[in-house]
Amino acid sequence: MELPLLHLALVGTPNSGKTSLFNALTGSRQKVANYPGVTVERKEGFFVTPLGRQVSVVDLPGTYSLRGRSPDEEITRDFVLGKASGETVPDLVLCVADSTNLRLTIRLLLELKRTGRPMVLVLNMFDIAARRGITVDVERLAKELGLPVVTSIAVRKGGTADLLKLTDEISAKLAAEAEDNSWRALSVAELRATQREADRIIADCVSLPARPDTWTARIDAVVLHPVGGLVVLALILFVMFQAVFAWAQPAMDLLKSGFDMLGEFVQATLPDGLLQSFLQNGVIAGVGSVIVFLPQIILIFLFILLLEDFGYMARAAFLMDRIMGGAGLHGRAFIPLLSSFACAIPGIMATRVIDNKRDRLTTILIAPLMTCSARIPVYTLIISAFIPARDVWGFINLQGLVMFGLYAAGIVSALAVSFLIKFFMLRDYAPAPFMLELPDYKMPRLKSIVIGIYTRAKMFLVRAGTTIFSMMVLIWFLASFPQPPAGATEPAIDFSLAAIIGKALEPLLAPVGFNWQIAVALIPGMAAREVAVAALGTVYAIEGGKEAAEQIGQVLATKWSLATALSMLAWYIFAPQCASTLAVIRRETGSWAWMAVTFTYMLVLAYAASLVTYNVAVALGAG
């Protein structure tokens, strides 16, 4: 007879290695990073024990208690208590502890025991504990707690062998053990008593050398220095954006010439006609012009992943707390905002760790203003076409400097919007507390960085192959049909649907300096920001006719005025050009209204910013 599926749940304090353990057990690639609050959703995975038992394991957001103070903690509470609709209660709870820091986990475990679920304590990160000379009397701990205790090293091969073995032993005799659930929210006195009890047990079973992590102390002395720390933070961001420009260039050039060769090859081998035009103008000039930016996107992700794995994110939150406080947010909101540099979607999801409803909403509303990686192609294209690649003060790349300025503009406007929200809507509002664990630094793990980059790069390419590709097919079609009448002398595109649509919109966009080609690119650009680059590539390639092998950047430099280019940059700082972000905002706020608010305010800001930029630039003679 086949045994029923065994249900495990991973519960524990934040940053104790639950997701690492989940990945090790199931072979998944869920996001792991060295700061509290990485996981904000429940994720299920499957594996088979050495003795052949089928197991389902659920990874949950970390929590200090079952009180469920924020949306992510509620997910954990509801799952453990079996309140989540349509979920089975776990057969066995794996309480995952960071072995270097048992106090909070043991207290949580004493609370979890009241739920009556069978439980195991997993002493994870045992390698770090051993290195620091922390010794744990595992047998005694198991006796004191009245449940099995096992050590594990989630990030090492074979580091979960003991846990697997134990799972087999326990599952054999599990069945009828379930006890009654006597859990209810603990009073302050009970909390205090459980913490006392936990401290007593730890004093009995664990010997701690008086040797805190000296590396962490040394690094923090610099990184958290009141002045030096902010300088380091600014420097990190600055180097990041310089690097995006300077370091990615060789790889981008390589990709670019690859696509050029492909285009020439298509032109040389295929007969003139629709198929040639589709491949050359639609696919290669369109989708290709987006894929060229892969190296930059990889670089920005590399930086963010390194910072996350090293343990810097929580420090950045600490440094930014008061500065964010001026804008009505607390430092905790800085982590979602920093993640939004990669993409606003995980950033918006990450706001689940913010317990205060208003703070969370404000953070969601401003997250799309942070410069996500999808803006990089647009920014880069325009910057490299219009800003000279000079060095200023000898070592700073001017193009990189402009890029840094655009990122800074995103941050500043996000804070400004947050400030306005606080000022006009939440006047009576006391600041929510900022309390955050600062984890010890860890050496970033090559494997997790590689996996992280691989998944993001794949996502980008899949998007290029699906969303962007289908938009390009549409644009190519609109720009190619109807075909010009025989004997027409104007460029063929002037007769197309795209030109008709673009020219209809032109009066609306003329005040901000956009021509009809830009209008055509902006509409499909609502699906995803990069589409605008691809669309411009296609529109100008079709318009350009035979000389279309030219680079899109060079084309822009001849067709746009500097004022138009600057106006376009300003537009992209603000414009709500991403359908998926809007969908996530709807889901996370549970309201169409907030999605509409986001869309409208960003559109208004974009138009206003472009209007000002364009007119100022024209007045200064850049028209």
Residues contributing to the site for ligand GTP (CB under 6 A): 12, 14-20, 32-34, 36-39, 61-62, 124-125, 127-128, 153-155, 309, 442, 445
Give the binding-site size for other proteins (rule: CB under 8 A): 46
Q: Does 318 bind other proteins (CB under 8 A)?
A: yes
Q: Does 405 bind other proteins (CB under 8 A)?
A: no
Q: How far apart are CA 182 and CA 178, in angstroms?
A: 12
At closest approach, how far in Å is the CB of 155 from Mg ion?
13
Comparing CB distances to other proteins, the nearer of 331 and 452 is 331
Q: Does 103 bind other proteins (CB under 8 A)?
A: yes
DSSP for 125-192? -HHHHHHTT-EE-HHHHHHHHTS-EEE--TTSTTTTHHHHHHHHHHHHT-GGG-------PPPHHHHH
Comparing CB distances to other proteins, the nearer of 203 and 389 is 203
Distance of CA 96 to the CA centre of its chain: 25
Q: Does 34 bind other proteins (CB under 8 A)?
A: no
Q: Does 208 bind other proteins (CB under 8 A)?
A: yes
CB 596 within 8 A of CB 497: no
At closest approach, how far in Å is the CB of 18 from Mg ion?
5
Q: How far apart are CA 267 and CA 261, in angstroms?
A: 10
Render the burial of 233-263: b for 16+ CB within 10 Å, e for the rest: beeebbebbbbbbbebbeebeebbeebbeeb
CB 367 within 8 A of CB 348: yes
Query: Between residue 62 and residue 101, which ones bind other proteins under the rule CB under 8 A?
Result: 64-65, 67, 69, 100-101
Residue from the set 29, 143, 196, 587 that interacts with other proteins by CB under 8 A: 196
Query: Between residue 588 and residue 617, which ones bind other proteins under the rule CB under 8 A?
Result: none
Comparing CB distances to ligand GTP, the nearer of 125 and 534 is 125
Of 282-290, 424-432, 491-499, 603-611: span binding other proteins (CB under 8 A): 424-432
Chain residues in the site for Mg ion (CB under 5 A): 18-19, 38-39
Among Mg ion, other proteins, ligand GTP, none, partner that 517 touches (CB below 5 to 8 angstroms by kind) = none
At closest approach, how far in Å is the CB of 134 from ligand GTP?
13
At closest approach, how far in Å is the CB of 416 from other proteins?
18
Residues sharing a CB contact under 8 Å with residue 317, sequence separation 6 or more, in sequence order:
331, 332, 334, 335, 434, 436
Among ligand GTP, Mg ion, other proteins, none, partner that 153 touches (CB below 5 to 8 angstroms by kind) = ligand GTP
At closest approach, how far in Å is the CB of 440 from Mg ion?
17
Q: How far apart are CA 40 and CA 75, in angstroms?
A: 8
Comparing CB distances to ligand GTP, the nearer of 61 and 148 is 61
Of 193-201, 243-251, 283-291, 545-553: span binding other proteins (CB under 8 A): 193-201
**CA angle 530-533-539, nearest 5°?**
135
Residue from the set 143, 218, 322, 458 that interacts with other proteins by CB under 8 A: 322
Of 183-191, 297-305, 335-343, 471-479: span binding other proteins (CB under 8 A): 183-191
CB 455 within 8 A of CB 29: yes
Among ligand GTP, other proteins, Mg ion, none, partner that 586 touches (CB below 5 to 8 angstroms by kind) = none
The phi, psi pair for 434, rounded to 5°, reads -115, 115
Give the tokens for residue 596.
């509409």
3-state SS class at 8: strand
Distance of CA 372 to the CA centre of its chain: 9
Other CB atoms within 10 Å distance of the CB of residue 51: 12
At closest approach, how far in Å is the CB of 195 from Mg ion?
24
Whose CA is closest to 529, among 381, 410, 375, 379? 375
At closest approach, how far in Å is the CB of 435 from Mg ion?
19
Amino acid symbol at 525: G
Report which DSSP code applies to 574.
Answer: H
CB 42 within 8 A of CB 75: yes
At closest approach, how far in Å is the CB of 507 from ligand GTP?
51
Query: 206 pairs with which residues across the strands?
Result: 136
Q: How far apart are CA 107 and CA 192, in angstroms?
A: 9
Comparing CB distances to ligand GTP, the nearer of 75 and 402 is 75
Q: Does 437 bind other proteins (CB under 8 A)?
A: yes
Q: Does 438 bind other proteins (CB under 8 A)?
A: yes
The phi, psi pair for 238, rounded to 5°, reads -65, -50
**CA angle 390-393-399, nearest 5°?**
35
3-state SS class at 276: helix
Of 315-323, 364-372, 380-388, 491-499: span binding other proteins (CB under 8 A): 315-323
Q: Does 192 bind other proteins (CB under 8 A)?
A: yes
CB 91 within 8 A of CB 174: yes
Q: Does 433 bind other proteins (CB under 8 A)?
A: yes
At closest approach, how far in Å is the CB of 537 from ligand GTP?
39
Q: Does 425 bind other proteins (CB under 8 A)?
A: no
Whose CA is closest to 270, among 284, 253, 257, 256? 284
Query: Between residue 535 and residue 594, which ones bind other proteins under the rule CB under 8 A?
Result: none
Comparing CB distances to ligand GTP, the nearer of 33 and 290 is 33
Query: Between residue 285 and residue 314, which ones bind other proteins under the rule CB under 8 A?
Result: 314
Distance of CA 66 to the CA centre of its chain: 27
CB 156 within 8 A of CB 17: no
3-state SS class at 434: coil
Comparing CB distances to ligand GTP, the nearer of 24 and 319 is 24
Q: Does 7 bind other proteins (CB under 8 A)?
A: no
Comparing CB distances to other proteins, the nearer of 65 and 564 is 65
Query: Between residue 344 and residue 363, which ones bind other proteins under the rule CB under 8 A?
Result: 356
Sign of the Cα pseudo-torsion (248, 251, 254, 259, in order): negative
At closest approach, how far in Å is the CB of 85 from ligand GTP?
23
Residue ranges that bind other proteins, judged by CB under 8 A: 64-65, 67, 69, 100-101, 103-104, 107, 186, 188, 191-192, 195-196, 199, 208, 212, 216-217, 220, 224-227, 229-230, 314, 317-319, 321-323, 325, 331, 356, 430-438
